[in-house]
Structure 1
Amino acid sequence: MHETPSIKRRLITMVYETFLLLAVEMLAVALFLVVTLNNHAPFFQYAMKVWLFVVTGAYFVWGWTNSGHTLAMKTWRMQVVTTGGARLPLTTAIVRYLLAWGWFLPALLACTALGLKDRTQIGATIAVGVLAWGLTAFLDRDRQFLHDRLAGTRLVLLPKPAKAGAPAAPAEAS
């Protein structure tokens, strides 16, 4: 079985993922605005949020089910697999995506419940929520985040690719 990537490596990957996801979502917003003729009616404001939720989900679920990783995860040599080491089935990838909202959803709900409007307060609340969710890895024997434990998935570290001209590493005996 592959080893678990360090928490530092996973957090760096998440920062990189954020930048990649921003590009994907900017394209999604542009497409939405073209299709809706830039309508700002309340219905379309909610529809855009749903659209971005779906686009974000499609981005992650497609990567996790096809190759086991997104571009950021590939760059940092990580893959998401089932606890048995298999590629994620579609339903497991969707469940993982929904559970991963645990990074943000409790803080967003707290902001709504407390009526927070100030960006600094909202940012601080989200930061506390992200920190709290991130700390769940320290409570897990395999250092997996809570959403992975609940979804029946795990992140694994992939081996470094062989350098050109170097002999291939021997295969592990099972």
Structure 2
Amino acid sequence: MTDTANANPTDAPRSTAQIHAEFASAGFFRRLAAMIYDVLVAVAIIMLASALALGCAALLTSLGWLELPAGMDHAAWLNQSMFYQIYLLLVLGGFFGWFWWRSGQTIGMRAWRLKVQQRNGHRITKKQALIRVLTCCFGLGNLWVLVDFKHRRAWHDYAAGTELVTLSQEANQLYYWKEL
């Protein structure tokens, strides 16, 4: 039987947010490695989104709702459309924003044990995810980590009030199973 009167207050159970607030900020090369993984996933997502757009254009043509100029195929018609470019940007932004908001990790971030979180260790909000998507400059904002030696935060981290931390192997596994 333990004596609760003499219990050390540091032995009290800590919340998940307290545990996650203790991780170090992620460095540039780890971020870069995760971005390379995520680019491969993003290319696959763009291919799928493009296939859906081509299918919709073909359907519209077959129904007679869309008439292509002479000598132009569906792919050329889509490539010259600003709506198609915006659609692809929205698909990519949705991919990254959803993963950042939902679990704090994209597939590349999971592989490299990175997690985006609020400065207090909590999961980011939808608004913070949107701000990160709009200010990440397609990953170029991470270059600021090379200059910001003290905090190692990117432009989009400052804009959204977030941070990217490196998880331990145990925390990465624990966090993954908790999110499922």
TM-score (structure 2 length as normaliser): 0.68
AA of the residue aligned to 2:105: H
- Tell me what 1:53 maps to: 89
> How far did residue 98 of structure 1 move?
0.4
Aligned-partner residue type, residue 150 of structure 1: A
1:11-90 equivalences under 5 Å are: 11-37=32-58, 38=74, 40-41=76-77, 45-90=81-126
Amino acid at match of 1:24: I
Change (3 A) 1:42 1:56: closer
Letter of the 2:154 partner, please give it: F
Q: 4+ residue stretches of structure 1 with deviation over 6 A? A: none
Task: Tell me the distance in 2 between the aligned counterparts of 1:150 and 1:42.
Answer: 33
> Where does the alignment leave 5 or more consecutive residues of structure 1 unmatched?
104-129, 163-167, 169-174
Partner amino acid for 2:94? A
Deviations 1:78-99 (A, max 9, x none): 1001122111110110010000
1:60-106 CA deviation, whole Å, 9 max, x = no partner?
11101111111111111110011221111101100100000264xxx
Partner of 1:145: 154
Q: Which residue of 1 aligns with 2:3?
A: none
Residues 30 and 102 of structure 1, relative CA distance in 2, 3 Å threshold: closer
2:180 is the alignment partner of 1:159? no
Alignment of 1:93-132 (within 5 A): 93-101=129-137, 103=139, 130=140
Q: Which amino acid aligns with 1:23?
A: A
User: What runs of 5+ residues in structure 2 fail to find an aligned partner?
Assistant: 1-21, 59-73, 175-180
| 2:130 aligned partner, one-letter code | I
Residue correspondences, number: 135
Q: Deviations over 1:132-158 (max 9, x none)?
A: x44411332211112211211110111
CA distance in 2, matches of 1:59, 1:102: 13
- Larger Rg belongs to: 2
Using the size of structure 1 for normalisation, the TM-score is 0.70
Q: Secondary structure at the match of 1:57?
A: helix
Cα distance, 1:23 vs structure 2: 0.5
Instruction: Report the Cα distance in structure 1 between the residues aligned to 2:42 and 2:79, rounded to whole angstroms.
Output: 24
What displacement does 1:15 show? 1.0
Question: Does the 8 Å CA contact 1:102/1:147 hold for their aligned counterparts?
Answer: no
- Residues 24 and 43 from structure 1, CA distance in 2 versus in 1: closer, same or farther, beyond 3 angstroms? closer
Letter in 2 for 1:137: V
Task: Compute the RMSD of aligned alpha carbons.
Answer: 2.2
